[in-house]
Structure 1
Amino acid sequence: MKSSLVILYHRQPYDEVIEDGKVVYRQKKSPNGIVPTLKGFFSYAEKGTWIAWREVDESEKEEFEPRITSDEEETNYTVLRIGLTKEQVKDFYHITSKEAFWPILHSFPYHFTYESSNWENFREVNRLFAEAACNEAADDALIWIHDYNLWLVPHYIRQIKPDARIAFFHHTPFPSVDIFNILPWREEIINSLLSCDVVGFHIPRYSENFVNVARSLLPVEIVERQPVSGHIIPVGTALAEPEMVTKLKYKNQYVKVDAFPVGTNPDFFLSVLNQPETQQRLKELEAEFEGKKLIIAAGRVDYVKGNKEMLEAFGRLLERRPDLHGNIHFIVSCVSPAAGMRVYEEAQSQIEQLVGQINGHFGRLDWTPILLFTQVIPISELLCYYKISDVCWTTPLRDGLNLVAKEYIITHQGENGVLILSEFVGAAVELANAIQTNPYSTDLMDKAIDRALAMSVEEQKERMQKMYEVVTKYDVKYWGDRLLEVFKELSHEVDE
């Protein structure tokens, strides 16, 4: 029996665990809301398939099982893994995706590398995904593709299965036309995305950038445009857009364009926070940091995350505020990159050097200003740090959405706390009551942290209550339900 829903995503929905010498598949422990939400869509399907890639060594080839199911749950879908060699993974993911596409998507063209990219390998991997999807999909199935790693899949699917219903969601930023068009493969990418019935983005600015790129390269017709509404801020911040194109026409086919930011999972986070062992750990941390101001930043090593700018701003804070010495801690969770990601080695070294310089200059035997974590903090522990922190400092130079900001808001439940948020993250157009700042400006970064530390409890509560209402209403379930409605209406519209 063919599948009525086929989801293509680079991550497998399960963790592989070795038990008694055997590989078993367990539900992911990660708090990432995307995977469980996508899995939830299969409940609406008679039968489904999730397609991902997995690196397969030569020694594994004979015993590699492409199709798996979880050992922990009964499901109506299977996971089909496309086995890639170590060299294919390196060229497809670590180099072409991360060294060519990633800097362009985040508007850092000077990090773009062309010579090492392997476009033919990228095509081949995308073609393998497309063939797998078409083999799995029923004639009326919905094929839902996720993110830039699979840009070319819609084109190959349309060649094999002309009447397929194809949706694509772009999880990263989509840059302006002059930045995106640096990519030598730009027309091939856009032509593929225009093979979809629906192309979705987090916010209207990204969808408008996509439309402008398409119009710069191909004879695309705008069919429908609407004002931005709902909880999205239409004007007044760096990524705001007052209106957006919602339908295009290309080669006699209609393409719906939509913008819907991914939400997080408030019920999950609050359930973890309220567990007895988490509450016990929370009390221990409250006692440990009693009487201290706490600032938290959480993310990973990446030049787009603004870690350097944030650490430098904290150093300047300690320079001008000697009264804070011994009375403040900056908790920085900055997870090291996976092995083989050479593009991040310089960023990691820079972070470690800055932390060492600041702690060495200001620290005392009884006080370490910056507490740096480079390994993943367990989710229960991280939520405790969110809860006890007076300020969450989230100022990437560019970020598709940023769920850390929403997670921090959830743990404070509208009671207190201050969120400093970069204008250049997608969530900024949802969270008007954050202290929004420009991380490229030293003066504005300094003013933001000063304002955050001086904010009255009354103002904190007023702002946090408003943001808490936003993140709990427009949560990951809202995002999923909206997509489901779009899919129910989806048909492959073609002018005869």
Structure 2
Amino acid sequence: MTQLAQKKSSLVIVYHRQPYEEAVENGQTVFRPNRSPNGIVPTLKSFFGRTAPGAGAWVAWKLAKPGESFERAVHIDDVNGGYTVSRLGLTAEEVESFYHVTSKEALWPVLHSFPSLFHYDNADWDTFRAVNRKFAEAAAAQAEDDAVIWVHDYNLWLVPAYLRQLKPRARIAFFHHTPFPAADVFNILPWRREILDSLLACDLVGFHIPRYARNFAELARALAGAEIAETRPVDPAFAAPGQALSEPDMPRLLRHNGRSIRLDSAPVGTDAQLIREVVERPESRAQQQETRDGLSGRRMIMAVGRTDYTKGMIEALQGFERLLERRPALIGEVKLVATSVRAAAQMKVYEDTQRDIEALAGRINGRFSKLDWTPVVLFTNSIPFETLLAYYNVADICLTTPLRDGLNLVAKEYVAAKRGAPGSLILSEFAGCAVELPQAVLTNPYSKRNLDRALDEALDMPAAEAAGRMKAMEKAVQNCDIACWADHIFSEFEAIGFQSSSAAVAA
């Protein structure tokens, strides 16, 4: 960490999390790299490597007591080059209201098409506005007048409107990491027009897949009278017909109040090259062998996710229980390794989900365990990235059954970690990445029979077929990896006026 130089940035990333892990050592604050080199934060930081040196900035919150003194902006030097981090001091009360209540209890269930779980009475929209205004002001303070300001995710929906007031010449981009629901579900939100007007203040609005972009465009047309000015066919790689989330074409340009808004769909990739390197390391190979030895010839199913009612972990566990009931010959012959890491503290809906998951795992173990075999191993703390990849490499099946998911990187990480070896990916057709991976064993997790069919199909699949499917999925994951995603995003930035580092240096 060094003292901030007063220099404006040409690319400002606005995200709620800080781009490092903050700790205190010997009374001094230190910033450590993220424990996992994979994931969205390391991915976003890599974008600074494409800007002119020192031309990037990151805006995030920092939990602080009222009146607490800390450096509001610091300079970070790491593998991505130097960049500024501007930190908002939010009190515990503000975080609870803005993030845990309004974002997670009101907005999250609607985004994931669970309107019955929408809670309006506890939502504090005034605090949500105030926090979004703070993010916008911090971003504006760091940005050049014509900078690209890239805002991330639904909890910062109102930032673009404030930015348009503060930096009228800025190029404002927004990326949704969640699903975007159909208009009839979105319109449950009492603040729907304020949210939509803010997003229509952007120059670019991005989503993982075409379905979400179409849902947004149809909402803008119906609710605000926006014109869908351009529609294009979807890339065949993301347009497999007949799937729950497939779309043959998608809107690419909206016009509203004299402005043009580009729409984009670009599913985030995983760092396939990094994953391959990790699983080939001697220490990973040793862990893989140790895991195989521990299985003693048994088959292994992986189910990985954080604790959330949208992630389908309860459905996965119930499906595994029915499998052992339906096929008793598998008792003692197959093991489910599951992770369910708590997503947010002090939220009853997640506490209830965690309790149900733990009770299910306990019930299955109580019913089917033998002296030398436990059917379910449940981790409630996060597993180190390297360990998780070793497990993926060994696992015969990855059971990924979200009821709704913006993308789901677990599926892509499993495919990359298998390195083309036989294995089966059971994938919910309501995960965004299902449109990229049609060779998976697709399932409808709302249907017990359908999920049972998927488990049977994966377990009974001939090795040659499993290897062929895995190689096709591996090619898809490699062709749309994190570097490909970054290239695509920068091409969209350039379309709204951003100059890359090479262009900036040449100028």
Shift of the 439–92 alpha-carbon distance from structure 1 to 2, 3 Å rule, reads same
CA distance in 1, matches of 2:418, 2:50: 34
Of 281, 284, 305, 1:278 maps to: 284
Once the two structures are superposed, the pairs formed by residues 161-176 of structure 1 within 5 Å of their partners are 161-176=167-182
Secondary structure of residue in 2 paired with 1:69 = strand
Query: Does the alignment pair 1:27 with 2:33?
Result: yes
Percentage identity across aligned positions?
A: 52
Secondary structure of residue in 2 paired with 1:97 = helix
Of 351, 359, 371, 2:377 maps to: 371
Structure 1 position 337, deviation (Å): 3.3
Of 38, 42, 56, 1:48 maps to: 56
What is the RMSD of the two structures over their aligned residues, measured on CA atoms?
Answer: 1.4
CA distance in 1, matches of 2:332, 2:476: 36
Deviations 1:324-349 (A, max 9, x none): 11111011111123322332011011
Secondary structure of residue in 1 paired with 2:185 = helix
Deviations 1:310-365 (A, max 9, x none): 11111111011111111110111111233223320110111111111111111122
Once the two structures are superposed, the pairs formed by residues 74-223 of structure 1 within 5 Å of their partners are 75-223=81-229
Aligned equivalent of 1:446: 452
Aligned equivalent of 2:428: 422
Aligned equivalent of 2:71: 65
1:25–1:72 Cα contact (<8 Å) kept: no
2:77–2:83 Cα contact (<8 Å) kept: no
Aligned equivalent of 2:439: 433
TM-score normalised by length of structure 1: 0.96
Which amino acid counterpart does residue 83 of structure 1 have in structure 2?
Answer: G
Aligned equivalent of 1:238: 244
Structure 1 position 71, deviation (Å): 6.7
**Structure 1 stretches of 5 or more lacking a match?**
none
Structure 1 position 74, deviation (Å): 7.6
Deviations 1:195-241 (A, max 9, x none): 00000000000001111111221111111011111410242100011
CA distance in 2, matches of 1:41, 1:429: 26
CA distance in 2, matches of 1:475, 1:109: 33
CA distance in 2, matches of 1:380, 1:296: 15
Bigger CA drift: 196-205 or 32-41? 32-41
Bigger CA drift: 247-256 or 137-146? 137-146
Shift of the 265–303 alpha-carbon distance from structure 1 to 2, 3 Å rule, reads same
Query: Does the alignment pair 1:261 with 2:267?
Result: yes
Secondary structure of residue in 2 paired with 1:291 = coil
CA distance in 1, matches of 2:289, 2:323: 28
Deviations 1:390-445 (A, max 9, x none): 00000110000000000000111112100000000000000010000100001100
Aligned residues: 490
Which amino acid counterpart does residue 116 of structure 1 have in structure 2?
Answer: N
Secondary structure of residue in 2 paired with 1:6 = strand
TM-score normalised by length of structure 2: 0.94
Aligned equivalent of 2:505: none
Shift of the 172–235 alpha-carbon distance from structure 1 to 2, 3 Å rule, reads same
Aligned equivalent of 1:411: 417
CA distance in 1, matches of 2:79, 2:394: 35
Deviations 1:249-306 (A, max 9, x none): 0000000001010000012212222222222211111111121011110001100011
Secondary structure of residue in 1 paired with 2:273 = helix
Bigger CA drift: 422-431 or 38-47? 38-47
**Structure 2 stretches of 5 or more lacking a match?**
1-6, 499-507
CA distance in 1, matches of 2:282, 2:30: 29
Which amino acid counterpart does residue 350 of structure 2 have in structure 1?
Answer: Y
Which amino acid counterpart does residue 121 of structure 2 have in structure 1?
Answer: E
Deviations 1:97-116 (A, max 9, x none): 00001000000011100000
1:142–1:167 Cα contact (<8 Å) kept: yes
Secondary structure of residue in 2 paired with 1:16 = strand
Secondary structure of residue in 2 paired with 1:213 = helix
Deviations 1:357-396 (A, max 9, x none): 1111111222111111111111111111111110000011
2:434–2:442 Cα contact (<8 Å) kept: yes
Structure 1 position 43, deviation (Å): 2.3
Bigger CA drift: 401-410 or 230-239? 230-239
Once the two structures are superposed, the pairs formed by residues 310-321 of structure 1 within 5 Å of their partners are 310-321=316-327
Query: Does the alignment pair 1:459 with 2:465?
Result: yes
Bigger CA drift: 38-47 or 240-249? 38-47
Once the two structures are superposed, the pairs formed by residues 351-366 of structure 1 within 5 Å of their partners are 351-366=357-372
CA distance in 2, matches of 1:482, 1:19: 40
Secondary structure of residue in 2 paired with 1:247 = strand
1:24–1:71 Cα contact (<8 Å) kept: no
Deviations 1:104-145 (A, max 9, x none): 000001110000001000100111111111111112211111
Which amino acid counterpart does residue 49 of structure 1 have in structure 2?
Answer: A
Secondary structure of residue in 2 paired with 1:78 = strand
Secondary structure of residue in 2 paired with 1:76 = strand
Once the two structures are superposed, the pairs formed by residues 298-317 of structure 1 within 5 Å of their partners are 298-317=304-323
1:302–1:344 Cα contact (<8 Å) kept: yes
1:27–1:70 Cα contact (<8 Å) kept: no
Of 244, 249, 255, 2:255 maps to: 249
1:307–1:351 Cα contact (<8 Å) kept: yes
CA distance in 2, matches of 1:322, 1:50: 54
2:398–2:411 Cα contact (<8 Å) kept: yes
Deviations 1:20-68 (A, max 9, x none): 221101111224432222212222323121000111024xx44311112
Structure 1 position 72, deviation (Å): 5.4
1:26–1:72 Cα contact (<8 Å) kept: no
Secondary structure of residue in 2 paired with 1:171 = coil
CA distance in 2, matches of 1:151, 1:191: 10
Secondary structure of residue in 1 paired with 2:491 = helix
1:26–1:71 Cα contact (<8 Å) kept: no
Which amino acid counterpart does residue 340 of structure 1 have in structure 2?
Answer: Q
